[in-house]
Structure 1
């Protein structure tokens, strides 16, 4: 059963109902709850904490895939990829939320609640604070560091802390959380933060801090810290029952399985999202569509079922029947022209994307994303989805570890992880149990293999854009290019095809009826992710309200160095 979010208002209603028979003059002011009552009562304190979860947990993002080579540019802010940002474009300034978190932490420290309860609540709030600061630091570098509620009487115009100071504060919050949280929750508490969340998130934070975006001089001390943190997370989480879930395709639907670590839970009708509607074709959705259309570039990235690249002349790849014998993650993620996709519970339904097949809002890339799309939903429920958002799963812990291992020269350890990931994906082990991996890769080759594995494993999970940023790969992989799509065209008339459509065998007859044309989905501009975008500008409205804030180097008037 999913954890139901408890609102303070709901608890208030219960309090009012219970006191309905008492004398009016004996009642407290029912329009407010005093601080003493909130923080010295476990139920009220838990309600405040639940509201913090609701306000701060990461969730489904229908735009982020179009900020990379995953998806076509129908949705999202394409100014990022086209080099058209201005200093006001990226505005994620979470200090209102951080103040609420700080108030909770400060009041819990003074609370009369049992120490174990108090520390557990504080630890959960600290994970939220660490998350909010991490969100800002990965965008801007160092930001003002506020770790307690500010009073109006004090100086509110704080300077930006160094990036290193911010990372240290984030890690300190996560260390406290690790020491004061359980490994698992049960029942209605399932989904709350655990030691596993604290360890895994710390591993991610230190991986970012060691990556080229933050570490252009390749400080090996940072990679060593990342390796140790991710090694601890990998081993201790495994000892506590976390691990790769058996089914890659089902891990989004078999909720709270052993792979899930950092999660936002949803429950229709109260807490819902519209990922399914935004991602499905409009004919099987409601009120939304047009997001997460996979590019031809993304389709070509998947290896064969043997794990061998399609570029290998001995791979057996067929450019006409391009979907056949591919990495099983392909079929779990990509819906192509003629693919069996039984949306809305329609038995035998096939997805047609050929020119003229979709009357309204056709996919411009020729593909749809299948990941985390619940086939059983009728259109009404596609904008009321209750599929949980998994921000961090055990596969990421493994790949964070593998990257850190490779960067510190432990190539065999990185190889082992790639084999585990590919084994779960369903790739054939092949001769020597290599899962299609090239033997004897250099450090650079192995890191490239890890980045490809991340691209495939986490497709449409909001990771690719951030990986390109932290590894500073936009110039190498995307700049000067245009993303591609595939436009299938009928070789016969629509009327002729309609006569055979129901009996059409896609795996043997495709070439008889279709001819595919590679097209540009970036129709006007080449991709031009600028070098100063690796640390975005602090928006002008924040600079104008705080005279002590420095703008980031690389932007107009910028003097703040995000690499310190």
Structure 2
């Protein structure tokens, strides 16, 4: 194990400016007497712990940089590395990027800081009220559970450490603890969150957890554990770690974990609600991710330019034409869009439908879809997404027959990497349109752009790198409803599952479901939580990643202008890079970091096939 030092970087600025601001980067070191001497020191200490929580947010990059772990490591603008870009929700610039081969995430220094908080608070009871010590202890349990959740979903069983380790007071042999079984780690996470719920208050300052944040996180974590128990024997690689219980959970434990997930989600009911402030359901859903007063938000992470924590979502998910700088590099797929609806782009005889304008395709589509994805013809900051792939001088025959032709046999089609190229006065490709393979990857490869979290009210000159300040919503009530619905469906309670799903579908502007199955809940989850870094983990816990990502290629919606008709058509074609995406079965677990194995031989056996 690591040799941990009791030197914790703290936020002096947090003491000077606000007891609850958690978006300030550390600037100095505080000693123990200052940390536990009063509210200023303890809030600075908590700010550092919260800053290091493994929240997969705007500034999270899977795999990190140069072999480092994947949280907040200096390339915070490269949001196109997020997990949706390798799951088929979107496609990014790196085909087949392996985000399952090992993050090297091992946060025992952070866990030590939390354990130290629990140990030192009672010793400094003269500086805090009994109520405050109780609240802070509950918060510590929440944070410790969060760190363990991030490890358990990657590695399975890891060492459970509940006390502060010290060297040289303890020998190296004492510090070289063994792995615990995966089932025991998940049970430990649930127990910590129960303690957090019991001790924390019902409300909390913005950016800090309360008892209902603990319940929400428990619903997420226990659902994950239940899925591993139920589906973990499917499509999994055997090995010594599994034989010894360090990875895998007995199937008999599944319903127990699903019940814990349902019970935890039920606790949140009545304390948070879905965002429903605007009658316009498209605007309402878009604003749910921008309105800081949303009653849906349970735990958020804030950003600001003043504290040097602003992110770059607007600059890296919209084309340069609509931003101040940066470039878009990750784009929703047609495969994702058609989870909502099979787009009406062909006639009954297979010929492409003709449209007068690009935006006509959006008529009648589900509002939640339109608030999640920018379609061809949509507008942002006064500009249109003119995502034209090319131009046909004339078009005859079926869409399928045309797409099946090699590029050099599509004789009436014209494409150009330069949006200024004209054909008899008509632009061949759009400014935000799809360029040929080999062109700079700075406009859509699929015909779509991400809309979720885009601050459409922000002026264009403030949409550059490190200028975005919309909050990341780590826990929101919609996810809790989905966790509850999935747990209910797994337990055979289809009535409650249907009730939860219909709350979401009503808000989304979708049709009401008569009854839902587990697969229906999964599909609803895909749609509601798109681009929020859930789908990657869902595919892993359902044990379907190696099926969905089995040498997979994803598709786009390609708009063309038919010159002799003055109409637009849309063709279902491969995204222009036609990259393969894959998932090796061993990636259901990541390897224990090699450096840690070198320090502690008791962490062996490593996970299967590593």
Calculate the TM-score normalised by the size of structure 1: 0.78
What is residue 316 of structure 2 aligned with on the other side? 278
For residues 435-463 of structure 1, the C-alpha deviation after alignment (integer angstroms, 9 at most, x for no partner) is 2x3x566xxxx111111100111111111
Matched, 1:253 2:290: yes
Corresponding residue to 2:300 among 250, 258, 263: 263
Task: Indicate conservation of the 8 Å contact 2:562/2:569, yes or no.
Answer: yes
Distance in 1 (alpha carbons) for counterparts of 2:571 and 2:531:
24
Distance in 1 (alpha carbons) for counterparts of 2:483 and 2:491:
12
What is residue 230 of structure 1 aligned with on the other side? 262
Once the two structures are TM-superposed, the CA of residue 366 in structure 1 deviates from its matched residue by 1.6
Corresponding residue to 1:353 among 378, 387, 397: 387
What is residue 504 of structure 2 aligned with on the other side? 421
Corresponding residue to 2:130 among 104, 109, 115: 115
Once the two structures are TM-superposed, the CA of residue 482 in structure 1 deviates from its matched residue by 0.8
Matched, 1:545 2:596: no
What is residue 505 of structure 1 aligned with on the other side? none
Once the two structures are TM-superposed, the CA of residue 468 in structure 1 deviates from its matched residue by 0.8
Q: What is the alpha-carbon root mean square deviation over aligned residues?
A: 3.0
CA shift in 2, pair 1:521/1:198, >3 Å = farther
Q: Which moved more, 1:50-59 or 1:351-360?
A: 351-360
Distance in 2 (alpha carbons) for counterparts of 1:135 and 1:40:
31
Matched, 1:151 2:166: yes
Task: Indicate conservation of the 8 Å contact 1:296/1:485, yes or no.
Answer: yes
Unaligned segments of structure 2, at least 5 residues: 1-8, 18-27, 61-78, 234-249, 277-283, 390-428, 433-439
Distance in 2 (alpha carbons) for counterparts of 1:11 and 1:203:
31
Distance in 2 (alpha carbons) for counterparts of 1:310 and 1:417:
32
What is residue 9 of structure 1 aligned with on the other side? 12
Distance in 2 (alpha carbons) for counterparts of 1:214 and 1:221:
8
Distance in 1 (alpha carbons) for counterparts of 2:98 and 2:265:
37
Matched, 1:201 2:221: no
Corresponding residue to 2:83 among 64, 67, 70: 64
Task: Indicate conservation of the 8 Å contact 1:211/1:471, yes or no.
Answer: yes
What is residue 219 of structure 1 aligned with on the other side? 251
Corresponding residue to 1:448 among 519, 534, 538: 519
Once the two structures are TM-superposed, the CA of residue 486 in structure 1 deviates from its matched residue by 2.4
What is residue 493 of structure 2 aligned with on the other side? 410
Task: Indicate conservation of the 8 Å contact 2:550/2:583, yes or no.
Answer: yes
Once the two structures are TM-superposed, the CA of residue 9 in structure 1 deviates from its matched residue by 2.0
CA shift in 2, pair 1:521/1:164, >3 Å = farther
CA shift in 2, pair 1:199/1:404, >3 Å = same
What is residue 192 of structure 1 aligned with on the other side? 208
Once the two structures are TM-superposed, the CA of residue 169 in structure 1 deviates from its matched residue by 2.0
What is residue 6 of structure 2 aligned with on the other side? none
Corresponding residue to 1:395 among 478, 490, 495: 478
Matched, 1:372 2:453: yes
Distance in 2 (alpha carbons) for counterparts of 1:459 and 1:49:
30
Map 1:318-357 onto structure 2 (within 5 A): 322-339=361-378, 341-343=379-381, 346=382, 349-355=383-389, 356-357=429-430
Task: Indicate conservation of the 8 Å contact 1:537/1:552, yes or no.
Answer: yes
Distance in 1 (alpha carbons) for counterparts of 2:294 and 2:190:
27
Once the two structures are TM-superposed, the CA of residue 75 in structure 1 deviates from its matched residue by 5.4
CA shift in 2, pair 1:416/1:269, >3 Å = same
Corresponding residue to 2:152 among 137, 142, 145: 137
CA shift in 2, pair 1:146/1:363, >3 Å = same
CA shift in 2, pair 1:225/1:523, >3 Å = closer
Matched, 1:535 2:608: no
Once the two structures are TM-superposed, the CA of residue 477 in structure 1 deviates from its matched residue by 3.0
Equivalent residues, number: 483
Task: Indicate conservation of the 8 Å contact 2:332/2:449, yes or no.
Answer: yes
What is residue 21 of structure 1 aligned with on the other side? none
Once the two structures are TM-superposed, the CA of residue 213 in structure 1 deviates from its matched residue by 6.5
For residues 357-409 of structure 1, the C-alpha deviation after alignment (integer angstroms, 9 at most, x for no partner) is 23861111221000110012224344321111111211111111111111111
Task: Indicate conservation of the 8 Å contact 1:543/1:551, yes or no.
Answer: no
Map 1:63-102 onto structure 2 (within 5 A): 63-74=82-93, 78-80=97-99, 89-102=102-115
What is residue 106 of structure 1 aligned with on the other side? 119
CA shift in 2, pair 1:142/1:294, >3 Å = same
For residues 520-553 of structure 1, the C-alpha deviation after alignment (integer angstroms, 9 at most, x for no partner) is 456343x331111111112322212222221434
Once the two structures are TM-superposed, the CA of residue 68 in structure 1 deviates from its matched residue by 0.8
